[in-house]
Amino acid sequence: MKTLASYSQGHWVPASGKTATLHHAVTGEPIATASSEGLDFKAMLEYGRRVGGPALRKMTFHERARMLKAMAQWLMERKEGFYALSAATGATRSDSWVDIEGGFGTFFVYSSKGRRELPDETFYIDGDMEVLSKGGTFVGRHIAVPLEGVAVHINAFNFPCWGMLEKLAPTFLAGMPAIVKPATATSFLTEAIVRSMIEAKILPEGALQLIVGGVGDLFDHLTCQDVVTFTGSASTGRRLKAHPKIIEESIRFNMEADSLNFCMLGPDAEPGTEEFDLFVKEVSREMTLKAGQRCTAIRRAIVPAGLADAVVKALGKRLAGATLGDPAVEGVRMGPLATKGQVEEVRKSVEALKAGASVVHGDPENFAVTGADRAKGAFFPAMLLHCADPFDAPAVHDVEAFGPVSTVMGYRTVADACELAKRGKGSLCGSLFTGDDAVAREVVLGTAAFHGRLMLINRHSAKESTGHGSPMPHLVHGGPGRAGGGEEMGGMRSVMHYLQRTAIQGHPQTLTAVTNLWMKGANTPEDVAHPFSKHFDEIQVGDTMFTHRRTVTEADVVNFACLSGDHFYAHMDDIAAKESLFGKRVAHGYFVLSAAAGLFVWPKKGPVLANYGLERLRFTKPVYPGDTIQVRFTCKQKTAKDTPPDGVPQGVVEWDVEVTNQAAEICAVYSILTLVARRPG
């Protein structure tokens, strides 16, 4: 039997003192012991703040993003060892895939988004510049910097890999160290993954620590710079959230709790329709995947009252084919619960549900198990209940059986269905199967305030759908009320949980110097050399070129119309143009852009490799034939890029472009992105 260890202050500390015994979910055999006795929790926090934090904060977002990718690749190469361990949690291969490769995939996603959406800086600039004075000499902006504490992640037993990695990805990308505390029952898998991560030597020392066992007095030593995230039962989450230190220090606490998620069948989705079949398949899959031990699993199936019998019959038939047993045996589709303790919890919850619903499929006292001893393993059968009067049965909206259990309930109108969905008092997710887009709109607007995510499925989207219970790194995972009131993932939203948003005020030049981002009103030094003749390394933020001028003629407008095929009346029809908001014929906006490019582009071959894009374009004043335009072309920001396969070192330069007329009125503003070569070496 293995003795698990915690990873504290750069060392592995084996369990000692009073230990908990962990059991194999299939065989019931003891497989490991765990304990956090002897750990100095205060010292762990201080080590993270003193060693891990400074090392991560020295790195830019892009460097941290590349670190995530390297770690994901390292773990993927070793995934089979983790699959073997995951079997002891009762997971089938497909269950483990969601947990293991889903977790690694989260690192890949945040690596990609970090390099695309965040700057190659140690801080993030949030939003546009705010002008705070009439003359523009006093302005404001928001920056976001990493908190200087430690993120404490407390995870549930059902996802020992994904639950940890989906929190670590935004934490590390933001630049904060973390202490991970997995649920003890399945911590043997978490420990193995952390061991591999430490072995990789990809993370800076102090970036990651692990507690296997209880948290002791850890909370007593938290500060306002720390963050706590929790996934698990609502009751435990509320207790932790109410800790005096959390309240006293106003510590950020993100909670994601189990909830009574719904899956709704639209009134149009009758038996025989694709949507009906898809609904039945999804509900049965969510009941049996991970044996229903998912915070996002479907607990309430809300269907048209007249279709309840058909739904019960179809679900019962499908569930009967979900063979329960040892996941190692061929043909087994559902494994056991994680622990025998969970079996008793689910059994009690089913009894509570029976106060307002009747069992229509499954019997916890009489069920078959394939390839294992039912008495030794943590087995529980798939159970389906039917609630005939859901508006008068509070238990089906209050009690969650955290296992392969769901309740079918009927509705008469879509408005009634929405009300039933909201009776869960706040859920992580809901789903709707309908071919009627009007029903989809009514359900979304009628239930969104009570849910963190809504999935709308019809025959057109089903094939590529990721499923009701699968949170995606790009989108928010969390929900209001009972679901905890927090948000995990959601792309860059979750990164902001670990950053402090601070307003800075001052002269545009001062703020430009602080942020390395040119702001209007800051210095615009000109150089004899054309900006496009400079390598990436030679260009400085603020470098500016004021171009020569060009007078727009009627011939320009006519020629551009012929070349582009754009014969819009405001450009070509004198009479119609007089009646338009312009009052007379106006030059094409895209001609103005083209003419501006002709003013600032350097025609010779040089370091500029390509036009990388154009952003934030606004036409602020029309340009008429006879007007004379000029361009201010300023380096706004620089971002170095990884050297591509062709071996040319390069970076992206963002240029702030402003087109003005003869009266110095601004006609167009936008950003041009150019791909610029760096000097060799």
Q: What distance in Å separates the CA atoms of residue 7 and residue 269, rounded to the nearest whole number?
A: 53
Q: What φ, ψ does residue 581 adopt, rounded to 5°?
A: -65, -15
List of residues 6+ apart from 225 with CB closer than 8 A = 49, 147, 148, 149
Q: Tell me the Cα Rg of the chain.
A: 30
Per-residue confidence (pLDDT) for residue 645, from 0 to 100:
74
Sign of the C-alpha dihedral computed for residues 38, 42, 45 and 50 taken in this order: negative
Per-residue confidence (pLDDT) for residue 681, from 0 to 100:
64
Q: Is residue 9 part of a domain?
A: no
* Contact criterion met (CB below 8 Å) for 518 and 500: no
CATH of the domain at 603: 3.10.129.10
CA dihedral 337, 343, 349, 355 (to 10 degrees): 120
Q: Are residues 229 and 284 in the same domain?
A: no
Strand order from edge to edge, sheet including 139-146 = 124-131, 139-146, 499-506
Q: Are residues 237 and 377 in the same domain?
A: no
Going by the DSSP 8-state scheme, the letter that residue 186 receives in this structure is: G
Q: Are residues 277 and 417 in the same domain?
A: yes
Q: Is residue 288 part of a domain?
A: yes
List of residues 6+ apart from 188 with CB closer than 8 A = 2, 4, 22, 31, 32, 34, 85, 88
Q: Are residues 235 and 119 in the same domain?
A: yes
Tens digits of residue pLDDT in 511-567: 999 999 999 999 999 988 899 999 999 999 999 999 999 999 999 999 999 999 999
Helices (DSSP H) in 183-307: which residue ranges? Answer: 187-200, 234-241, 244-248, 274-288
Helix (H, G, I), strand (E, B) or coil at 332: coil
Catalytic residues: 256, 295
* Contact criterion met (CB below 8 Å) for 205 and 178: no
Q: What φ, ψ does residue 575 adopt, rounded to 5°?
A: -65, -50
Q: What distance in Å separates the CA atoms of residue 46 and residue 664, rounded to the nearest whole number?
A: 57
Tens digits of residue pLDDT in 366-379: 999 898 888 888 89
Number of H helices, E strands in the chain: 21, 28
Q: Are residues 452 and 557 in the same domain?
A: no
Q: Tell which residue, 495, 516, 422, has the closest CA to residue 120.
A: 516
CA atoms within 13 A on the CB side of 452: 34
Per-residue confidence (pLDDT) for residue 594, from 0 to 100:
94
Q: Which two tokens stand for residue 365?
A: 């006292």
CATH of the domain at 144: 3.40.605.10
Q: Are residues 109 and 173 in the same domain?
A: yes
Q: Are residues 236 and 265 in the same domain?
A: no
Q: What distance in Å separates the CA atoms of residue 332 and residue 371, rounded to the nearest whole number?
A: 9
544: left (phi over 0), alpha (psi -120 to 50) or beta: beta
Q: Is residue 484 part of a domain?
A: no
How far is C-alpha 83 from the chain's CA centre?
Answer: 24
Q: Are residues 235 and 174 in the same domain?
A: yes
- Domains held by the chain: number: 3
Q: Which residues of the chain, if any, have pLDDT below 70?
A: 681
Q: Which two tokens stand for residue 151?
A: 């993120």
Q: What distance in Å separates the CA atoms of residue 66 and residue 154, rounded to the nearest whole number?
A: 26
Q: Is residue 295 part of a domain?
A: yes
Q: Is residue 154 part of a domain?
A: yes
Q: Are residues 46 and 80 in the same domain?
A: yes
* Contact criterion met (CB below 8 Å) for 679 and 535: yes
Per-residue confidence (pLDDT) for residue 6, from 0 to 100:
93
Q: Are residues 50 and 181 in the same domain?
A: yes
Q: Is residue 239 part of a domain?
A: yes
User: How many angstroms separate the Cα of 307 from the Cα of each of 300, 311, 411, 494?
Assistant: 15, 6, 10, 41
The C-alpha angle with vertex 147 and arms to 145 and 149, in degrees rounded to 5, equals 160
* Contact criterion met (CB below 8 Å) for 364 and 381: yes
Helix (H, G, I), strand (E, B) or coil at 328: coil
Full domain range(s) for residue 188: 40-258+493-500
Q: What distance in Å separates the CA atoms of residue 587 and residue 373, rounded to the nearest whole number?
A: 81
CATH of the domain at 378: 3.40.309.10
Three-class DSSP labels, 55-75: HHHHCCHHHHHHHHHHHHHHH
Q: What distance in Å separates the CA atoms of residue 78 and residue 445, rounded to the nearest whole number?
A: 44
Q: Is residue 508 part of a domain?
A: no
Q: Are residues 417 and 302 in the same domain?
A: yes
* Contact criterion met (CB below 8 Å) for 172 and 178: yes
Q: Are residues 230 and 330 in the same domain?
A: no
Q: What distance in Å separates the CA atoms of residue 592 and residue 595, rounded to the nearest whole number?
A: 5
Q: What distance in Å separates the CA atoms of residue 278 and residue 434, rounded to the nearest whole number?
A: 10
Helix, strand, coil percentages (3-state) for the chain, rounded to 5, are 35, 25, 35
Of 500, 515, 548, the residue that ends a domain is 500
